[in-house]
Structure 1
Amino acid sequence: MSKAPASVSKSGTRQVAPGAIDHSQELGHGNSPAAWTCVIVMLVGALIAAIAFVIASTPIFIGGAVVMVIGLILGYVMRKAGYGVEGSKLKNSGH
């Protein structure tokens, strides 16, 4: 990673050294139904796996891991269906 700082040109635009990361852009935080569904389902799976770990139950632990993978797939499918950030289902139609 380059230690070169970003500099501001005379026109006021920010120039970033090659290989440097530009932190001035807004990244967003994935606030969408797809992201929330993915995270909630994966948290439930993690809870199941954690409880199974404490009670030493391998089948339930694997079930929790499967629920986490299902959450990941569900989030991806919802994003492709238009429920992700700036998805087609979330655009304001003026109603």
Structure 2
Amino acid sequence: MSDSSHGHTPAAWTGVIIAFIGFCVAGVFMVAAQPVGFWVGIAITLLGAVVGGIMRMMGLGQPKDTHPVHKTTEPGQRRPADIQA
């Protein structure tokens, strides 16, 4: 797992940074009791997901075939941990 590059893409970083800024804006306005500012922060947070998704569609995200599904056992086959002595 340490060699995994999951999330280390421009799309992921951009989406997370925008969402973090929106979260901070919403938090500040929540403490200040300003509902309009709070909802603007929530909108910025959602914008981060949209921007990250668009960047992924543009090819700046991780390819889908990077992490293939690994089978540890065949159907009906028992793992060594399942066998009790």
Alignment TM-score, normalising by the size of structure 1:
0.61
Q: Cα distance, 1:28 vs. partner?
A: 4.1
Name the structure where strand makes up a greater proportion of residues: 1
> Hey, what does 2:26 align to over in structure 1?
49
2: CA distance, partners of 1:86 / 1:31? 12
Gaps of 5+ in 1: 1-23, 88-95
Alignment TM-score, normalising by the size of structure 2:
0.68
> What do you get for the CA RMSD once the two structures are aligned?
1.8
**Are positions 1:73 and 2:50 aligned together?**
yes
2: CA distance, partners of 1:52 / 1:28? 35
Gaps of 5+ in 2: 65-85
Q: How many residues align?
A: 63
How many percent identity over aligned positions?
A: 33
Moved over 6 A (4+): none
